[in-house]
Amino acid sequence: MSVSKPLTGGVLQDFHAAVLCANISALLVEEAQQELDREQEGKGNRHRYQINRAVALGLVKDNLAGLLLGTQPMETAYQRLKLKIKRRREAVKPGRKFKRKRHRGHKVKSNKRKVI
């Protein structure tokens, strides 16, 4: 029977920081997406737009310390970050699905290579 060791403090801290960052990012993206949808209703654009979630997560990661340390008023930082996220939008183009090409086989047939 094996006994598992508890996670160290650094690993747990990293995990909780990532979860906090993802949650804040999800809240900001949801609010920004609702505002973006309201703005786009009357415009008659060709495509629907959505927030780029990967970029939003990166922006939140970069600004997380400033949000938590309170170097500026929370509302100001929140609104500025939401505006930055709202600017990073992408058009959703219907019918844009492409199958991935799966590469089978390797250039080298085995893990053992000839020395000479």
Least confident of 5-9, 35-39, 54-58, 81-85: 5-9
Rg (CA), the chain: 22
What is the average pLDDT score of the chain? Answer: 85
CA distance 97 to 99: 7
Give the pLDDT of residue 94: 83
